[in-house]
Chain A
Amino acid sequence: MNNILNEIGIENYIFLSVLLFCIGVFGVLYRRNAIIVFMSIEIMLNAVNLLFVAFSTYHQDAEGQVFVFFSMAVAAAEVAVGLAILVSVFRNIGSIDIANLKNLKG
């Protein structure tokens, strides 16, 4: 079985994951819409998952991919709870602009 990384190289995957993660960070900082902030968090989680799979292939070890399963389960639970919170915020405030969420500000 030929290792795919002979053709591509693990560096390329590291750079791709790093750039994807930075785009996610940029989205969290740049947008005010809470749903887009959630999508940026998903992009960051996916960047990390991609790096897990790349290094799982690098070490020829299945445990990296098993960890990605758990990360996916946690991501699914996180998105469900987060979107439910957003819906109830929207019912109370009438918008999901994160600049409006300042009830805790003294």
Chain B
Amino acid sequence: MSAILITFYFLAAITLATAFLTIYSRNPIHSAIYLVLCFFSIAGHYLLFNAQFLAIVHIIVYSGAIMVLFLFTIMLMNLNKEDEVHKPRITRLGAIVVFIVISVVLVTIFINSKTIMGDYDTSGEDFQSIRKLGTVLLNEYTVPFEFASILLLVAMIGVVLLSKKEKNEKK
């Protein structure tokens, strides 16, 4: 086994384990910490693909912004205690059955569909440097790029309105 394969299995094990622990742990703060670890290991996968810009953006957006948002919300609601009542037994059993069925079915499908797995393309052409990504983004995807900025602006205004509304009603 090559070193890259070992790195991949190590990162994949961290990703799956922390994703599972995110759901399994009772304390929401612990869930958030495990989610950060999961996002960092996914950024490691991106680095393995040599997609540096995507890895850095992933760390900034997910591990930085989104996790700060999650942690602030958890602390705002004072949820860092483990008093969650579990769902009824039948619902939990159903969730576990659905999980097992979906994973078995999907993995079996992908094991049995090896039709597209030919040789890998190694043209040696640069396709994922920041220069190339910026060219593609601003030449072919200019309109979606501008719409993304509108979406973020609308989301920001909406969040401010949603959060301020209660205060105005109380007056």
* A interface residue numbers (CB < 8 A to B): 1-8, 10-12, 14-16, 18-27, 29-33, 35-36, 38-40, 42-43, 46, 49-50, 53-54, 56-63, 65-66, 68-70, 72-81, 83-88, 90-92, 96-97, 99
Classify chain B: how many residues form its interface, as a range.
35 or more
Q: A7-B4, A32-B84, A66-B141 are in contact. Are A59 and B121 (CB under 8 A)?
A: yes
Q: Name the residue of chain B whose CB is nearest to the CB of A15.
A: B107
Chain A residues whose C-beta falls within 8 Å of the C-beta of B74 in the assembled complex: 35
Q: A16-B15, A18-B107, A70-B144 are in contact. Are A65 and B66 (CB under 8 A)?
A: no
- Whether A33 and B28, one on each chain, are in contact in the complex, defined by CB atoms closer than 8 angstroms, is yes
- Whether A32 and B77, one on each chain, are in contact in the complex, defined by CB atoms closer than 8 angstroms, is no
Tell me, rounded to whole Å, the shortest Cβ–Cβ distance linking B117 to chain A: 7
Grouping DSSP codes into helix (H, G, I), strand (E, B) and loop, the A interface class, with mixed when no group exceeds half, is: helix
Grouping DSSP codes into helix (H, G, I), strand (E, B) and loop, the B interface class, with mixed when no group exceeds half, is: helix
- Whether A2 and B22, one on each chain, are in contact in the complex, defined by CB atoms closer than 8 angstroms, is no
Q: A30-B23, A36-B22, A39-B35 are in contact. Are A83 and B70 (CB under 8 A)?
A: yes
What 4 A-B pairs come out closest when comparing CB atoms? Answer: A77-B155, A29-B95, A27-B23, A26-B99
Chain A residues whose C-beta falls within 8 Å of the C-beta of B2 in the assembled complex: 7
**Alpha-carbon separation in the docked complex, A79 to B16 (Å):** 22
- Whether B16 and A19, one on each chain, are in contact in the complex, defined by CB atoms closer than 8 angstroms, is yes
| B168 at interface by CB-CB < 8 Å | no
- Whether B54 and A68, one on each chain, are in contact in the complex, defined by CB atoms closer than 8 angstroms, is yes
**Alpha-carbon separation in the docked complex, A86 to B87 (Å):** 20
Chain A residues whose C-beta falls within 8 Å of the C-beta of B38 in the assembled complex: 43, 46
- Whether A65 and B69, one on each chain, are in contact in the complex, defined by CB atoms closer than 8 angstroms, is no
**Alpha-carbon separation in the docked complex, A36 to B122 (Å):** 41
Partner of A80, one of B15, B86, B159: B159
Tell me, rounded to whole Å, the shortest Cβ–Cβ distance linking A60 to chain B: 5
Partner of B136, one of A7, A66, A70, A79: A66
Tell me, rounded to whole Å, the shortest Cβ–Cβ distance linking A6 to chain B: 5
**Alpha-carbon separation in the docked complex, A8 to B66 (Å):** 30
- Whether A87 and B76, one on each chain, are in contact in the complex, defined by CB atoms closer than 8 angstroms, is yes
Q: A35-B28, A53-B54, A77-B155 are in contact. Are A11 and B85 (CB under 8 A)?
A: no
Q: A18-B107, A39-B70 are in contact. Are A53 and B162 (CB under 8 A)?
A: no
- Whether A32 and B86, one on each chain, are in contact in the complex, defined by CB atoms closer than 8 angstroms, is yes
22 contacts between A and B (CB under 8 A): A7-B2, A7-B4, A7-B5, A22-B99, A22-B102, A25-B99, A26-B23, A29-B94, A36-B22, A39-B22, A39-B32, A43-B22, A43-B38, A46-B38, A46-B39, A53-B51, A56-B51, A56-B127, A59-B121, A68-B54, A76-B155, A81-B158
